[in-house]
Each structure stands twice: as C-alpha cells, then as structure tokens.
Amino acid sequence: MNAAELIAEVQNSLANIFERMGWAEDEIARAQKRHPDAADRIYHSFSLLAPRAEQGDRMGTEMIYRAHAREILDRVAAGEDTRPGTSVELVIGLLEVATRAPLNHEGFGLCARMWAAAGLPDLGGMTDTLGHYEAISASRIDDGERKARHAARDDSRTLGAIECEGMHHGDTVACTYADQTTAA
C-alpha cells in the first residue's frame, strides 16, 4: 500500500465515523423532542451510542444504526437499563446465526419480533407473519428474547455519573447536571 492509498483509506474511515456521529447527534436531538423532561440526560448519552466492533458493517447502515440509537435513547429517557441488547443487536445476531444454520420456529419468530420492534421496513413479508409466530409460540419467544437480550448485553453501556459545565455544543445551557458553581 502506498502513501496515497493509506491516506485515502484513513479519510474514508474518518468519513464513516463522522457520518455515524451525525446520525447519533440527530437521533439525540429527536429523542430530546420526544422526551423533553429527559433532554439533559439524553444529551449526555452520546457515549452509549457507539456500536461494538463485532457488529461490523451492519451498524454502518443508517436505518440499522438509527434504530439501535433510538432504542437506547428511549431507555435513557425512561430511566431503564441500557445494557441489554437492543432489538437491532438481536436481529444482527440472529441473522448471523442463520448464515450457519436455519432458525427454528421460535428463532424466526424472535427475529421477526425484533425486526418489527426496531421499526425496520418489512422485507418479504417478514413482519406480516409475526402474528402467526406469536400465536403459536409467544411464551417461548418471550423466553428467547429475555435470554438473547442478556447474551447481547453490553456491560460497558452505562451512563454513569454525569458531569456538566453548563455548556452543550458550546452554548451555555441550564442543564440539570451542571455544577451550579461553574454554570453561573
């Protein structure tokens, strides 16, 4: 690889990172509008939106990444645990498993449930069949979802203590997390 190819590769990698950062910021702004009472906590949740390395290129797809970010931000707003796997993470995992062996009835039902929960577009009638799978195996799909969310858990995906100097994107704000001595 010559210097020009290396520079082009680095520029391309950075462009992808900055594009994903833009999607994250946009989803944060949308979540703040959906949940104005949690707007400050949502603002400080950017670090929770970084996908794990093993999720690879699939999180590089805008609608996939945005669905993942939306679910995490809605959990933040509701004060829920952000560590369990998101619907999108479960779909990614289930589709990866399906490349090695066919999904059983409950596995496909769980994939369809998570696909619908993520708000992904219905491809090939996948979510149209969800009612059938739910009618036959809802409790086993529930168990599978609980186990899969735990297996896809990211223990590092926690908000932790929020420190704020009363500035958001360079603007002075009345953030509920701002240290009142530095925000004044």
Q: What pTM value is reported for the model?
A: 0.85
What Å distances lie between residue 78 and 10, 29, 37, 120, CA to CA? 38, 16, 10, 22
Q: What is the pLDDT of residue 14?
A: 65
Q: What is the pLDDT of residue 38?
A: 96
Q: Above 50 in pLDDT, residue 182?
A: no
Q: What is the pLDDT of residues 30-85, one digit of tens each?
A: 999 999 999 999 999 999 998 876 666 778 889 999 999 999 999 999 999 999 99
Structural domain boundaries in the chain: 1-83+158-184, 84-153
**Mean model confidence pLDDT for the chain:** 88
Least confident segment among 42-46, 51-55, 140-144, 155-159? 51-55
CA distance 32 to 30: 5
